[in-house]
Structure 1
């Protein structure tokens, strides 16, 4: 194994210390390029201005995603415009929401919607989250108690979703979805929130919390680059495939009767 690692290094390349952090909900924000580069590779437009917040817009201009660290409390805002039967919707997520959880939602925005009816609770139940009804409200809590997903109805009967994570020191984040937010996006968020896989953070970017578990790993810069490029390549390939299916020329097969008639005239 060591020999293979030496052979894979670039000139003068040295391994860097990173940490696998779990639970992911308490891993801190992470590198926003994990979200933004995937969106750009999927054909989204970069509307950011120099020195301002990150702003990306979907190809059809129906969805805009903003990350603003320059205001308090700052964080992510996802806005969907009203289109057809879909009402205008919003999702607001705190600055310390891990980018891997953000990407669970934003990656889904780049794909066709599944024909299956969404179930927000299914990913949580699969990971043994504790669920309990509270009158007209409903709450799911992670096994370690650090993260939650909450559903309630407002006085008008509209569904409101609220989620987040917090350690014993009070550090954490929250996420809120308007009643009109498409349910398949809320499910994508809940699946990313419940995902038990750890996430990677570089040295110096690991939150100080007694509730997280870390595993030290040595990673080559070329490995990090390769993982990022693989994610971007996946987005580009999916975008190309969708565009090809939409724009490819349609051909009409010659009716078999023409061929039969041609042979009969010989």
Structure 2
């Protein structure tokens, strides 16, 4: 990162090498705090035990999010309790799903639903995903063939949503949504899944896959901290606005990679 005279921000810091990874579906898990710190700033209660799995409860205790890498198959579980006119629902994500895609759904849990009818397929089609219908099943596949989204019925006839990504070496993750999962949450997931935005990973945390593309960037620690704090601040501001009855809602997703420094694609 080039320094400018008279600019004290970042003075004396050493730039660190990170990588912007594309496609995001194959970028690996990432930092759990991308999900957990946003939820904490949104008023969610941390129920995690010391050295135990991550457990977070929504302010109304209607939804619980957990991450446990120490059980098989391991990963994320999101459970919504049954309520009036709504069945209980569950979403599960494999441990290698990028946290940015998880956050697409979990961030949506902190926002009020819009009046628009959800359309799970629209974000995928907008990004050029190929859709097909067969025997009551609907599928969408990313242009590179690495990721998919499906609506299907299991052998017992139960409807469910299923998604995932896999490279040619067989590395990847899967996601399953019960049929009762609120559709606006499934759409929020599909938006994050289809996003063309790369995700950032530190050196040494890049999956070994011939199907990913990386761009090397030099980033100051203070920049990383500022991007993380911007996301947390947005969550706190939105929480305050809701609690105070304010009409406007601030942006709740930060795009920290606009000008991350010197780049070198490989």
TM over 0.5: yes
Which blocks of at least 5 consecutive residues in structure 1 are unaligned?
247-266
- Deviation of the 1:69 alpha carbon: 1.1
**1:192 — aligned with what?**
192
Deviations 1:169-212 (A, max 9, x none): 00000000001000000000000000000000000000000000
Q: Tell me the SS of whatever aligns to 1:229.
A: helix
Asked if residue 59 in structure 1 is aligned to residue 59 in structure 2, the reply is: yes
Which blocks of at least 5 consecutive residues in structure 2 are unaligned?
247-266
**1:116 — aligned with what?**
116
Q: Is the 8 A contact 1:77 1:91 kept in 2?
A: yes
Q: 1:5 to 1:93 in 2, by over 3 A?
A: farther
Asked if residue 95 in structure 1 is aligned to residue 95 in structure 2, the reply is: yes
Aligned-CA RMSD value: 1.6
**1:238 — aligned with what?**
238
How far, CA to CA, are the matches of 1:231 and 1:8 in structure 2? 23
Q: Is the 8 A contact 1:9 1:220 kept in 2?
A: no
Structure 1 stretches of 4+ moved >6 Å: none
**1:209 — aligned with what?**
209
Q: Tell me the SS of whatever aligns to 2:3.
A: helix
Deviations 1:95-117 (A, max 9, x none): 00000000000000000011110
How far, CA to CA, are the matches of 1:47 and 1:5 in structure 2? 47
- Deviation of the 1:159 alpha carbon: 2.8
Q: Is the 8 A contact 1:104 1:191 kept in 2?
A: yes
- Which structure's CA Rg is the greater one? 1
How far, CA to CA, are the matches of 1:74 and 1:171 in structure 2? 15
**2:13 — aligned with what?**
13
How far, CA to CA, are the matches of 2:168 and 2:28 in structure 1? 15
Q: Tell me the SS of whatever aligns to 1:230.
A: helix
Q: 1:6 to 1:205 in 2, by over 3 A?
A: farther
Which is helix-richer, 1 or 2?
A: 1
How far, CA to CA, are the matches of 1:157 and 1:114 in structure 2? 31
- Deviation of the 1:3 alpha carbon: 3.5
**1:262 — aligned with what?**
none
How far, CA to CA, are the matches of 2:191 and 2:6 in structure 1? 37
Q: Tell me the SS of whatever aligns to 1:3.
A: coil
How far, CA to CA, are the matches of 1:155 and 1:204 in structure 2? 41
How far, CA to CA, are the matches of 1:195 and 1:6 in structure 2? 38
Once the two structures are overlaid, the 10-residue window that deviates more, 30-39 or 129-138, is: 129-138
**1:176 — aligned with what?**
176
5 Å-filtered alignment, 1:77-88, equals: 77-88=77-88
How far, CA to CA, are the matches of 1:175 and 1:71 in structure 2? 16
**1:149 — aligned with what?**
149
- Deviation of the 1:154 alpha carbon: 4.3
